[in-house]
Structure 1
Amino acid sequence: MESELKPLDSNSKPQLLEPTADDGSTKDDRPLLKPVSTPPSPPIVTPQTIQELEKKFGAYVRNDVYGTMGRGELPLKEKVLLGVALVTIVPIRLVLAVVILVFYYLICRVCTLFSVPNREEEQEDYAHMVGWRRAVIVQCGRFLSRAMLFVIGFYWIKETRRNLNVADKTTTENECKDQSEEPERPGAIISNHVSYLDILYHMSSSFPSFVAKRSVAKLPLVGLISKCLGCVYVQRESKSSDFKGVSGVVTERVREAHQNKFAPMMMLFPEGTTTNGDYLLPFKTGAFLSKAPVLPVILRYPYQRFSPAWDSITGVRHVIFLFCQFVNHIEVTRLPVYYPSQQEKDDPKLYANNIRRLMAREGNLIMSDIGLAEKRIYHAALNGNNSLPSVLHQKDD
């Protein structure tokens, strides 16, 4: 047990368990009728081990009733509520959600008939269409996204627009322009990332473009919708120069949105992965290379039983538990448009760090230094994966 937990210690190097025989089993000199291969046993995760992991990977820890990975022991009352919900509201919500998805897909299909998608740097989108087609896609998309949230249980969305005082403007260096000046259009919306529900909210609010895995473009129904959103596709695990190409496309799209009010806005999650909603991870600089002003938005999901955060729980389990919860909540804090200083324009890392500190302060979020690589280690340990060293070397985008 001790040797298996060593890879999780930041002061020690990852080591694999060494089998005592070539086939991975305990060496035995007794004759066998036929070879027997026994694979190494996966690490056993004990309650003590989980506590150690939670201290180190706090940004990905579930603190709701359902416990670690949504597999905790539930009280009898919670089991009864789940059972009732599974046979009542879950089927209704599932049917309505599918109907909304198919209906919007058909709208996108009709509006894109006989239209050639915009193609650039191996990207493909319909977000640059103009006229009534684009208007129908955007307005219907916003309305149906809000309808989808309503079906899931987000009946009310509390939105707050935060106005920073003079002291805040001084300490954060040119966050907002003087009110007498004409405000410029931000090039991108910057948001913390808590759940896939973030996308639905932003679609209902401003219908921006997102960065998504390239495989999303090939999904039934969702693929066409993502192209209408103008998603920028990236192959996350690719170790080629593809990332540079995508970074260039994102930068150009942010600049275009800043300069052209008819261009689709970019929505970026600079953390690169989801958290439990209480933390803010280090920001990637790709969202700030364009030197354009950005609009910071902070999302919170208050809960009593099940947390809507998609941190260390599988997608299927998350959807089922979410649909079983009758009421869900979103709290949105919109900060003023942040205009970078010349120093921040010259240093994207400084720009990103200043935005991160601002969002952490205004959203009462804890800044953490861990990232996607640590999240993979945490998930691997919880799943009893004995190949943690290989997880360490996966690319962190």
Structure 2
Amino acid sequence: MDRRYEQGVAESGETAEQLDEQVHAYFYPFKRVSGQWSVYEVCKTALLSCTLLPLRLLLLLIFLIVLWLVAALVQGSPRHGEEAVSSSGSTPDSSLNQKIAGRLAGWQMRLVRVIPRLARLALALCFGVFWIRRRSPEPSSLSPQLKPVSPRASLARRSCAYTIVSNHLGYLDILVLLAVYSGSFVAKEDIRRVRFVGKIACAIQCLFLGSSESVTQSIVGRTQRAHACRVLKQCEGCSDCATNLIIFPEGTTCNGHAMIRFRRGAFAAGLAVLPVVVSFPYKHFNSSWESILFKTHMWRIMTQFVNYVDISELGVYEPAEQEKVDAHLYARNVEKLYSQHLALEIYDLNRKHKLMYHSYLLGQKTAGEVLELASQEKLADPSLTTFEAIP
């Protein structure tokens, strides 16, 4: 591997340090950015690793078992996925999701509502997230297409926006968004077979995607079906329209210091969305899960006294007529709102670029190889083509 690296350096005419800096700068949204180790942080981590960490791990296991039991009870509900599909006139996204979607009895719906409350409790006791600060931007900074929503507004006031879009910083923001919005998520079908997590994901009506399925078509089908159920009142109430669908349009996690281009799947239905911004203010440890081993991240996050989370609702975004027929333009305009609100640069990258960067960090590819592959991916991905946003 060293020989291949030296060969790449020799061919490029640049030093190893220059190439390394170039790679980290190119893939900056995926670079691990966190606080520096200090004497205080070392002593605190050592102390809490022996005291608080074992307790938090035990509590996490207990929460997973309780959540699994609640989800198991919910899974005993009768299904009417076919009714939901036929009533909306939409194409079903998959047979799997048809089986999951169904009418829940009253007591089962109450059990589903217990899951976000347990998630909120787990955030506090296991991860030190004692407060989730809710913020709203100044009205003068909002786009004309945004309808401001109070942080304390009920879900009914957001009913015109079935889809919630959010930036993605790691597994922690999934728990945060679940606790705040009681929503469901888009997940790979393999998640359904993960112990504990799979059954919980089914209970909260996650949209599962198979390897042969179109992500965009599946999301559009679910969104249109829920729109017909919730807004047009074309069904008596099914689990599809009982929860909001939460989507991470970037398609992967970033480090919180930069953004990547939004995918168009969340916007292809041409319906209103609710943009939500999640941020993790930090001094010692960045809670975003980016380019760091899961076990290391879990260890560090559980050895912090407190972890902070901020949520900002940018308001319900009603797409213009041009955006309704052009999902790329719609995605680019919402992406621009995030960039302005967070004051972050947007990089023309996608999830495949992240995998390339990780292959470099693991020593599987040289700097020259990953930069060449990244350039080829940019040319192959039409979503990375520049679109002019509506002013």
Query: Common fold, TM-score beyond 0.5?
Result: yes
Q: What is residue 144 of structure 1 aligned with on the other side? A: 118
Give the distance between the partners of 2:54 and 2:78, measured in 1 at CA: 37
Deviation string for 1:116-155 (max 9, x for gaps)?
A: 4848514246453333244223321110110111121001
Counterpart in 1 of 2:104?
130
Contact 2:78–2:102 (CA under 8 A) maintained in structure 1:
no
Any unmatched runs of 5+ in structure 2? Answer: 83-91, 149-156, 231-236, 384-391
> Which residue pairs with 2:134 in the alignment?
159
Matching residue of 2:356: 377
1:252-309 Cα offsets, whole Å, 9 max, x none, are 2112333433503111111011000122210111111111100000011011111111
Alignment of 1:267-282 (within 5 A): 267-282=246-261
Q: Which amino acid aligns with 2:147?
A: C
Quote the Cα distance in structure 2 between the aligned partners of 1:361 and 1:2.
44
| Partner deviation per Cα, 1:336-391 (whole Å, 9 max, x = no partner) | 10000101111111110000001211222221212222212221111111385697
The reply on whether 1:222 has 2:197 as its aligned counterpart is yes
Find the aligned partners of 1:79 and 1:101 in 2 and give their Cα distance.
Answer: 30
Residue in structure 1 matched with residue 183 of structure 2 by the alignment: 208
Correspondence for 1:93: 56
1:294 matched to 2:273? The reply is yes
CA contact (8 A) 1:333 1:363 kept: no
**Structure 1: unaligned runs, 5 residues or longer:** 13-44, 67-73
User: 2:137 and 2:342 mapped to 1: Cα distance?
Assistant: 10
Aligned residue number for residue 207 of structure 2: 232
Does the CA contact (< 8 Å) of 1:112 and 1:133 recur in 2?
A: no
Q: Which residue of 2 aligns with 1:4?
A: 5
Q: In structure 1, the residue corresponding to 2:316 is in which secondary structure?
A: coil
Q: CA RMSD in A?
A: 3.2
Hey, what's the Cα distance between the residues in 1 that align with 2:8 and 2:213?
29
Among candidates 210, 221, 224, match of residue 255 of structure 1? 224
Verify the 8 A CA contact 1:274 1:310 in the aligned structure 2: yes
Once the 2 structures are TM-superposed, how far is the Cα of residue 184 of structure 1 from its aligned partner? 5.6
Q: What residue in structure 2 maps to residue 27 of structure 1?
A: none
8 Å Cα contact 1:282-1:356 kept in structure 2: yes
Cα offsets for 1:142-175 (capped at 9, x unmatched): 101101111210011111123533x7444xxx33
- Residue 327 of structure 1: how far off its partner (Å): 0.7
Superposed displacement of residue 183, structure 1: 7.3
Rate the CA distance shift 1:111–1:184 in 2: closer, same or farther, 3 A.
closer
Q: How far, CA to CA, are the matches of 2:169 and 2:312 in structure 1?
A: 14
Contact (CA 8 Å) 1:127, 1:227: kept in 2 or not?
Answer: no
Contact 1:127 1:229 in 2 (8 A): no
| Alignment of 1:109 onto 2:88 | no
Identify if the C-alpha distance between structure 1 residues 220 and 116 changes in structure 2 by more than 3 Å, giving closer, same or farther: farther
Do structure 1's residue 53 and structure 2's residue 27 form an aligned pair?
Answer: no
Aligned: 1:284 with 2:263: yes
- Distance between the aligned counterparts of 1:123 and 1:199, measured in 2? 22
Flag the structure with larger Rg: 1
Separation in 1, partners of 2:209, 2:74: 25
TM-score, structure 1 normalization: 0.77
**AA of the residue aligned to 1:224:** K
CA distance in 2, matches of 1:183, 1:224: 27
Q: 1:260 to 1:363 in 2, by over 3 A?
A: farther
The alignment partner of 2:213 has SS state of: helix
CA separation of 1:183/1:226 partners in 2, compared to 1, >3 Å: closer, same or farther?
A: closer
What is the TM-score normalised by the length of structure 2?
Answer: 0.78
Q: Is the 8 A contact 1:373 1:391 kept in 2?
A: no
Give the 3-state SS of the residue equivalent to 1:220 in structure 2: coil
Conserved 8 A contact 1:187-1:255:
no
Counterpart of 2:269 in 1: which secondary structure? coil
Contact 2:71 2:112 in 1 (8 A): no
Partner of 2:164, secondary structure, is strand
1:87–1:209 distance in 2 versus 1, CA, 3 Å: same
Which residue of structure 2 lines up, in the alignment, with residue 21 of structure 1?
A: none
Structure 1 residue 50, shift from structure 2 partner = 4.1
Indicate if the aligned counterparts of 2:30 and 2:354 stay in contact, CA closer than 8 A.
Answer: yes
